[in-house]
Structure 1
Amino acid sequence: MGANDESVFDVYRDRVDRPLARLFRVYGRPEVEWFALGMAANVVARVASLLPPLILGIAIDSIFVDTEPFTLPVVPDAWLPATQSGQFWFSAAIIAGAFLTTAVFTWIYGTAANVFAHRVMHAVRTDSFERMQRLDMPFFDDKQTGEVMSVLNNDASNLEVFLDDALQNSSRLGVMLVGIAAVLFYLNAQLAFVTLIAIPAMVLFTVWFMRAVEPIYVAQRASVGDLNTRLENSLGGIQLVKTASTEEYETERVRRASREYFDRTMDVIKLNYVYRPGMELLAGVAFAATFVVGGIWLFSGAPGPFTGELTVGTFVTFLLMTQRFVTPLAEVSNIIDQYENAKASSERVFGLMDIPVRITDAPDAVALEEPEGRVEYRHVDFAYPENALAAAEEEDSGERVLHDVDFEAEAGDTVALVGPTGAGKSTLLKLLLRLYDVNRGEIRVDGHDVRELTLSSLRGATGYVGQDAYLFDGSVADNVRYGNFDASERRVREAAEAAEADEFIRDLPEGYDTRIGERGVKLSGGQQQRLSIARTILQDPEILILDEATSDVDTETERLIQESLDRLTAERTTFAIAHRLSTVKGADTILVIEDGRITERGTHEELLSEGGTYATLWGVQAGEVEMVPDSGSSED
């Protein structure tokens, strides 16, 4: 299937081989001590739980009916009491001890299994998130946030349920079946065949169920991702929804996504409606066959091909043991349900982890130490990948958006980028940060190709102030020191003062400790922007990128922000994208970008004297000439 048919996430998920085995190999192995402890305790607990019906059968034959000598498996006869009274109390003590042992080791098993499950899932969840953060930008350009959230939250939780519940139940079932079969064959091999005759049918029935339910689970997990995406988009754009009065439209879209999830879930439930009663029927047939054959054997002697004698105690033990595996077998549907769910979820988790990261540190990457801020673009061409899959597979990129871009910025210079929307200005600066890599040419910082530098040192030396200031839910101080988490209160305050933000911060209810809400919703746009500038001032970068940092604020706020920016850009290499040319007329170099090419370059005065595109734009903004509307609509 081609790149246009499947997302990168779908492709790499489908390539995951034996996901649950990989889960245990990669994440279970470091916690193997807890797993081994749990399994050992489980064996002891389950074996102990089989002793009461076995002892009861022996006691009936030896003490109450007195048809058989009092003997116990593995216990020397010399250790056993000689009197019936002694044998009775000895049997009672063994039964009580068995129940106590079962309780204690079940607790040990449950504790160890839970620690194992939660440790594994903690590692899976954090590793998935770390990997997701390192994925290349084409993934985030192409991927729906809701589906990623589904992987990190819902799928990880499904694996936790499997490790916590399904493993416990399946291991308990396995030990019970083996233990019961061993006891029954020890007591009466012929009747044991009758009791266990349904097992092959149950195995075949289970294999059919697993094959039938697996693709349904895959579809169900995909529908969960679609539903989460729809909810995420609708809630994230709630202001637009309200202002556009599209609540009914969004509700209908959520209803369709929810209906799809409902339908896929019902497909699973319908199969369970067949499987669970079928397993209970087969287990019931085994119990009924044991009761009928054993009852006839007691009343009339060995029926048909059977030989030998059957005692009352042995018959009671058979019935009790048969009932013991009826309930666990009836739970197999839950185990299979959790297994298939976990398998589908682990495919999605590892599918996310397996997406290759192309923009990484080179093996011999060097750190940018004591940066000066000299930047060179040398004949740079760039095209965005058609989609994230094309980027991951390093397939040919799409249409070029930058063509032979070539310029230099000396340390401390200010370079302004102007031009129509969609010309490639923002793209040009994303390449400097290595959010994407050039297709041809190179970008150099202080003489180093950016691909030869460590990402952390390159980005640590570069500050970014965009049009949309992103703030986290937390205090004002937390947002200012984001990325410089050890900064003192004094340094935070100094950065805020430099950004013209200290005054309004002090007027907030709790000053620098005021919580500003998700994305800073409790602050105005200008206040958010000044906090973003304060954050960058605290970072103290040598290279600064200003991407239309004052385009959406009023005149007074723009004046305050511009004063902050003037202080911030002093003695730093600065790249400024602006539609308001008045904010960049003092730049050392102004580049006019049109259709991904540099069409004009020079100072403000030089470009005005040339009478080209820049002069026309300046005249329009100064109100001197009438501007023909720009038809460009694509993004930078």
Structure 2
Amino acid sequence: MKEHPLKRLLTVARQHRKRVWLAGASSVLNKIFDLAPPALIGAAVDTVVEREDSLIASFGVTDAFDQLVVLAAVTVVIWALESAFEYAAARLWRNLAQTIQHDLRQKAYEHIQDLELKFFHEKSTGSLMAILNDDVNQLERFLDEGANDLLQVATTAIVICGAFFVMAPGVAWMAMLPIPIVLWGSFKFQRLLAPKYARVRERVASLNSQLSNNLSGIATIKSFATEAYESKRIEAESRAYEDANRDAIKLASAFSPLIRMAIVVGFVATLVYGGVLVLDEKLAVGTYSVMVFLTQRLLWPLTRLGRTFDTYQRAMASTQRILDLLETPIEIQSGGLRPEAIHGEIEFQGVDFGYPNRENLLNGFDLKIPAGATLGVVGATGSGKTTLINLLLRFYDPRAGKILVDGTPIEELELDALRRAIGLVSQHVFLFHGTVEENIRYGSEDATLKEIEEVARQAEAMEFVEKLPLGLKTIVGERGETLSGGQRQRISIARALLKNPPILILDEATSAVDNETEAAIQRSLEKISKERTTLIVAHRLSTVRRADSIIVMEHGKITEHGTHEELVDLNGTYARLWRVQTGE
């Protein structure tokens, strides 16, 4: 059974313990000084009625006017202290809320980055965004006000109960009557609300997921004219979120009215019974005044517990989701070896691999690529071409066998060192919203402008970049939407080259470009593949024609291996594909 979310949160945020104590102490002191005015009112009444026999007179101030002056001075000091601690509590709690919000979001994001690709296949982007934004914000809202409210209510109860039993123990128990009912009701409501708010968090994650998915695929939605269909789907998700909230609100809203009825019993009992004691001269008027005021100060704030517990339960449901994410185990751990240089020899030794919940795609797979060689990898969709790249980059680990770089198993290498040694140009180019220069520089932040221009020329990108309105400073838009597919590919190649990696991988880099762009990419490949190990995964055989060697993959196995000329002469699968693509 998992620990309570609050206990787990305190463990995660233990480095802020000192600030929590300071904020808590400020809340308590603020409430203590806030409760002093009723006592001052009682003392003023006592002074006016009793004069030389008042409580203050017992301290040596016998003149009634002097007693009022003393009371005025004490009142100013107390109000100043109350104001100072109110400011301190508000500032400390709000700053603490911002700090913990920032820390949790940052920790969650960094943890997400370290998780393997399998995790992202099982989780939607929208649900992760809901955790990083909405759930973290729910916790912030509670720390902003809710924690302070709970501490102040607790302080109120302790201080006033103590004062009552000192002043008039015979009346005190009447004011205390509603407290057990309030506490029982609070914990009962808390248990009932917890699953309802957990459901609210699930529904908002589902809604965010659908919204994120639709915004990413807006072009597809428009091209299929399915706007009305998608609106209905969003309406259904939003309605489910609304219904989950309504269910929680229905229960949460009942708390204050029910507690209020219990509270009025204690207040009326104190008012009537205390008044009778004053009439019978068994209780001083000043004491009675203080008790009536304090009873109200004790009981009425308890009605706010409903709102506070509502905020608390929302925060705990969100905290549960944040901490569950943080505790998701990282399956692919970095090795500790960081070689001075990587030459680029790659070897697969008896590798077995299958994607989660699927049968093995590779069984006893063997392949060796000499350092500096260019290997073409061709085959039908699903034959295992991209899988080789995923394994080499350690996006996944094999079920059996080893993958070696320069004779060292890649699981022994630091992940950062391994991936920095590999330049990847994917079929699905991802450009960030920013300038052309920023996108080429990505991952090589120390690069100079001269180096950026040089790799752009090598990738044959400078020709079109110079024609852009601001050249390298031109904004490419989200995902590079203002550029053509071929232009994005060439920027991607330049970005990979700027790393100057000993291993370069092109995964279907020419699959979505026209013949002219493909020719430009092939020309650049001849230059950039020199003195580095290059893997070219392609459907278009013209892309791999000049490779040092080519393998043909079918169902996770290498069925043909040789140069372009050797494979054409073999008259097998490669030769058949070549004839189809060249129109022979």
Q: What SS does the aligned partner of 2:361 have?
A: strand
Matched, 1:58 2:31: no
Q: Counterpart of 1:606 in structure 2: which amino acid?
A: E
| Residue in 2 that maps onto 1:4 | none
Give runs of aligned pairs for residues 69-108 of structure 1, distance below 5 A.
69-71=53-55, 77-78=58-59, 80-108=60-88
Residues in 2 aligned to 1:441 and 1:37: alpha-carbon distance in whole angstroms: 56
Given that 2:51 and 2:62 are in contact with CA atoms closer than 8 Å, whether structure 1 keeps it comes out as no
Q: How big is the shift at 1:413? A: 0.7
| Residue in 2 that maps onto 1:627 | none
| Residue in 2 that maps onto 1:259 | 239
Q: How big is the shift at 1:326? A: 3.3
Bigger share in helix: 2
Q: Give the counterpart of 2:462 among 495, 502, 514.
A: 502
| Residue in 2 that maps onto 1:371 | 342
| 1:139-192 Cα distance to aligned partner (Å, 9 max, x none) | 011111111111111111111112221111111111111111122222211111
Residues in 2 aligned to 1:488 and 1:70: alpha-carbon distance in whole angstroms: 84
Per the normalisation by structure 2, the TM-score is 0.97
Matched, 1:444 2:404: yes
Matched, 1:541 2:514: no
Q: Counterpart of 2:71 in structure 1: which amino acid?
A: S
| 1:469-528 Cα distance to aligned partner (Å, 9 max, x none) | 101111211111110111111111212122112232222222222222211112111111
Q: How big is the shift at 1:67? A: 7.2
Given that 2:441 and 2:447 are in contact with CA atoms closer than 8 Å, whether structure 1 keeps it comes out as yes
Residues in 2 aligned to 1:163 and 1:459: alpha-carbon distance in whole angstroms: 40
Matched, 1:33 2:6: no
Q: How big is the shift at 1:59? A: 1.8
Gaps of 5+ in 2: none
Q: How big is the shift at 1:441? A: 1.4
CA separation of 1:298 and 1:373: change in aligned 2, threshold 3 A: same
Residues in 2 aligned to 1:50 and 1:371: alpha-carbon distance in whole angstroms: 71
Q: Counterpart of 2:94 in structure 1: which amino acid?
A: N
Give runs of aligned pairs for residues 109-508 of structure 1, distance below 5 A.
109-299=89-279, 301=280, 309-362=282-335, 365-386=336-357, 398-508=358-468
Given that 1:44 and 1:102 are in contact with CA atoms closer than 8 Å, whether structure 2 keeps it comes out as yes
| 1:255-279 Cα distance to aligned partner (Å, 9 max, x none) | 1111111111011110122112112
Q: How big is the shift at 1:68? A: 8.0
Given that 1:59 and 1:70 are in contact with CA atoms closer than 8 Å, whether structure 2 keeps it comes out as no
| Residue in 2 that maps onto 1:516 | 476
| Residue in 2 that maps onto 1:390 | none
Residues in 2 aligned to 1:565 and 1:45: alpha-carbon distance in whole angstroms: 71
Given that 2:210 and 2:234 are in contact with CA atoms closer than 8 Å, whether structure 1 keeps it comes out as yes
Residues in 2 aligned to 1:245 and 1:114: alpha-carbon distance in whole angstroms: 47
Question: What is the count of residue pairs matched by the alignment?
Answer: 584
Residues in 2 aligned to 1:418 and 1:41: alpha-carbon distance in whole angstroms: 69
| Residue in 2 that maps onto 1:7 | none
Q: What SS does the aligned partner of 1:66 have?
A: helix
Q: What SS does the aligned partner of 1:618 have?
A: helix
Q: Give the counterpart of 2:3 among 11, 17, 27.
A: 17
Q: How big is the shift at 1:566? A: 2.4
Q: Give the counterpart of 1:558 among 509, 518, 526.
A: 518
Residues in 2 aligned to 1:189 and 1:567: alpha-carbon distance in whole angstroms: 94
Residues in 1 aligned to 2:23 and 2:112: alpha-carbon distance in whole angstroms: 32
Q: How big is the shift at 1:283? A: 2.0
Given that 2:125 and 2:212 are in contact with CA atoms closer than 8 Å, whether structure 1 keeps it comes out as yes
Gaps of 5+ in 1: 1-14, 302-307, 387-397, 625-636
Single out whichever of 336-345 and 534-543 deviates more from structure 2: 336-345
Residues in 2 aligned to 1:565 and 1:324: alpha-carbon distance in whole angstroms: 79
Single out whichever of 581-590 and 18-27 deviates more from structure 2: 18-27
Residues in 2 aligned to 1:327 and 1:103: alpha-carbon distance in whole angstroms: 22
Q: Counterpart of 2:582 in structure 1: which amino acid?
A: A
Residues in 1 aligned to 2:384 and 2:52: alpha-carbon distance in whole angstroms: 94
| Residue in 2 that maps onto 1:585 | 545
Residues in 1 aligned to 2:260 and 2:83: alpha-carbon distance in whole angstroms: 27
Single out whichever of 559-568 and 519-528 deviates more from structure 2: 559-568
Q: What SS does the aligned partner of 1:357 have?
A: coil
Q: How big is the shift at 1:64? A: 1.6
Residues in 2 aligned to 1:417 and 1:204: alpha-carbon distance in whole angstroms: 69
Given that 1:147 and 1:229 are in contact with CA atoms closer than 8 Å, whether structure 2 keeps it comes out as yes
Q: Give the counterpart of 1:568 among 528, 533, 541.
A: 528
Q: How big is the shift at 1:111? A: 1.2
Given that 1:34 and 1:115 are in contact with CA atoms closer than 8 Å, whether structure 2 keeps it comes out as no
Q: How big is the shift at 1:207? A: 1.5
CA separation of 1:201 and 1:67: change in aligned 2, threshold 3 A: farther
Q: What SS does the aligned partner of 1:331 have?
A: helix
Q: How big is the shift at 1:533? A: 0.8
Given that 1:136 and 1:358 are in contact with CA atoms closer than 8 Å, whether structure 2 keeps it comes out as yes
Given that 1:476 and 1:514 are in contact with CA atoms closer than 8 Å, whether structure 2 keeps it comes out as yes
Residues in 2 aligned to 1:490 and 1:77: alpha-carbon distance in whole angstroms: 88
Question: Alignment RMSD, CA only?
Answer: 1.5
Q: How big is the shift at 1:284? A: 2.3
| 1:593-627 Cα distance to aligned partner (Å, 9 max, x none) | 01111111111111111111111111111112xxx
Residues in 2 aligned to 1:336 and 1:69: alpha-carbon distance in whole angstroms: 46
Q: What SS does the aligned partner of 1:444 have?
A: strand
Q: What SS does the aligned partner of 2:395 have?
A: coil
Residues in 1 aligned to 2:26 and 2:145: alpha-carbon distance in whole angstroms: 16
| Residue in 2 that maps onto 1:8 | none
Single out whichever of 460-469 and 184-193 deviates more from structure 2: 184-193
Q: How big is the shift at 1:219? A: 0.7
Q: How big is the shift at 1:246? A: 0.6
Residues in 2 aligned to 1:262 and 1:162: alpha-carbon distance in whole angstroms: 21
Q: What SS does the aligned partner of 1:286 have?
A: helix
Given that 2:253 and 2:306 are in contact with CA atoms closer than 8 Å, whether structure 1 keeps it comes out as no
Q: How big is the shift at 1:77? A: 4.2
| 1:361-407 Cα distance to aligned partner (Å, 9 max, x none) | 23xx3113211111111121111112xxxxxxxxxxx3011122212
Give runs of aligned pairs for residues 600-615 of structure 1, distance below 5 A.
600-615=560-575
Per the normalisation by structure 1, the TM-score is 0.89
Given that 1:134 and 1:357 are in contact with CA atoms closer than 8 Å, whether structure 2 keeps it comes out as yes
